[in-house]
Structure 1
Amino acid sequence: MSKINELWNKEKLPTKDGIYFANGESFSFLAEFYPYVFIKKGESFNLVDFLNKNPDCITTIDIFQKIKIQMGGTCLLGEGSHGSEGFIAYISSDEKLNWVIYFEESNPFINAIELPDKFLEVESSANYRIILDLKNPINIVSIKGIEM
């Protein structure tokens, strides 16, 4: 079992901006959320090594929303224990983790709408939206900025 699966099963996530796949692959994200939203894929990294060097970089999660996806599975949205955190997870129909995206400063993710061609638009409580491809979530397709 991969480290991210182990954490997920305990309702915990690492506090490092990135995407974590159930097979153990992890990629960092360079993410800024104020005053403008900017997200860029970073390098792959070893989650076990990261947590060995940073054992306190763990947060407890709360799931706010569960959205059934037409192609199968469920999107889970929520926050971490520090309040400024947010995550987007995609689980299979048998409730096993496929992947989870975590941001330390995004604010909680509160809603999602499935779009055509297996895309998902996810809304943060900070009033911006991220569109991602459910089949290839490492590539954030677009970001709709904060509307003030």
Structure 2
Amino acid sequence: MEDLEIVKKSKFYTELNALLREQLTKIKQNIDPVYEQILEEKQFDHPLPIICQFEYASWGGNKQWRLELDFDEYQWSNETVKPHFLNALVYLSISKESIGFKYQLCSSFNNILQPSEIEKIELKLLNDTDFVSKKIKEVERFLDDLPQYFIQEIEKINFDELEYMLHPKIQEKWKQGYLPGFDCIVMGEGDFVIGNVYSTYDPNTGETKQYWSPLCDTTLERIEKYDDDIWTEVSIFHGAFEYENQKIVFGDGAMGNEGYVASTTLTGELNWAIFFTFSNPIHKAEIIDKHLICYGDTGTVIDIDLNNITKIKITLQNT
């Protein structure tokens, strides 16, 4: 602990920490729009977030600052049998009378950019003005070049070869004929979008309008922490069809007022499903101009934008 405190109070650590906290955020802001364009061009369905991590402990007293693509929801590479990674890191480990230090862009998609050796620096140098100035300038040059090289490495990734990890319980429940029985979008990998559902009634015209909008994001584990009885039985109606390498299915829930629509892989795994507590059974669906139009059997028509399935519009409801 004494060595850790010596390092954290040193000129080197103080200047390094301030530089990285300022610059990594700016670098991410520069990379994000270019990265989003790359994903759009590659038509990648499951965007990976670019995240910043500042001065966090990786093991014990070791510290890391990172800008990285988050591959947590993807299977490991079958080729290397290791996790996918693309990250720019500044690493500092603390030992008696010295630190280990390195900065590097690392990529599992580029054999040249594998993790490098750690430089050993004596503690007494961490307050040496000339030494600290030299090291900080090295890191600054690394950061100046980082946006260009980070984007170059992103462009080398074959996104089609990434294997998305599906949530085992959600997939098991789906194959057994169950979905969460409340207004939500459930993703096959375990994420949820909770729906905000309400209706308005105009007494002058007698017209009722129904609305659906995204309320918040959560996960299956967070929902089941408070209620593990969220599942309702669903039936698949006749009329399922294939569209762009997926299958669209629809039907009803256990109660008469419920309906759902879902996208599955051609082999039956769930990509996503949207459950409605107000639609009555969905008895028909079709795609018009990249919009999935679902028809409830009492006249409800639900328009889902397939470019962003959280954009849901109830275009007609008979009263």
TM-score, normalized by length of structure 2? 0.43
Partner residue of 1:124?
Answer: 296
CA distance in 1, matches of 2:234, 2:243: 25
Q: Return the offset for 1:113.
A: 1.4
More strand by share: 1
- Compare 77-86 and 32-41 and name the one that shifted more: 32-41
Partner residue of 2:240?
Answer: 67
1:137 equivalenced with 2:288 (yes/no):
no
1:24 equivalenced with 2:195 (yes/no):
no
Q: Return the offset for 1:143.
A: 2.2
- How many residue pairs end up in the alignment? 146
CA distance in 2, matches of 1:134, 1:64: 21
Runs of 5+ consecutive residues of structure 1 not aligned to the other structure = none
Q: Return the offset for 1:134.
A: 2.7
More helix by share: 2
The secondary structure found in structure 2 opposite 1:37 is strand
CA distance in 2, matches of 1:75, 1:33: 27
Runs of 5+ consecutive residues of structure 2 not aligned to the other structure = 1-165, 201-207
CA distance in 1, matches of 2:185, 2:238: 19
Percent of aligned pairs with the same amino acid: 25
- Would you say the 8 A contact 2:241–2:248 is kept in 1? yes
Q: Which has the higher contact order (CA 8 A, sep 6+)?
A: 1
Task: Point out the structure with max Rg over C-alpha.
Answer: 2
Q: Return the offset for 1:33.
A: 5.5
- Would you say the 8 A contact 1:130–1:143 is kept in 2? yes
- Would you say the 8 A contact 1:75–1:90 is kept in 2? yes
The secondary structure found in structure 1 opposite 2:173 is helix
CA distance in 1, matches of 2:239, 2:252: 13
Q: Return the offset for 1:32.
A: 3.1
- Would you say the 8 A contact 1:63–1:78 is kept in 2? yes
1:9 equivalenced with 2:180 (yes/no):
no
CA distance in 2, matches of 1:25, 1:82: 24
Q: Return the offset for 1:135.
A: 4.1
Q: From the superposition, tell whether residues 139 and 85 of structure 1 become closer, same or farther in structure 2 (CA, over 3 Å).
A: same
Q: Return the offset for 1:51.
A: 2.4
Q: Return the offset for 1:47.
A: 1.6
Q: Return the offset for 1:90.
A: 0.7
Partner residue of 1:51?
Answer: 224
After superposition, the CA RMSD in angstroms is 1.9
- Would you say the 8 A contact 1:73–1:95 is kept in 2? no
The secondary structure found in structure 2 opposite 1:53 is coil
AA paired with 1:82? Answer: M
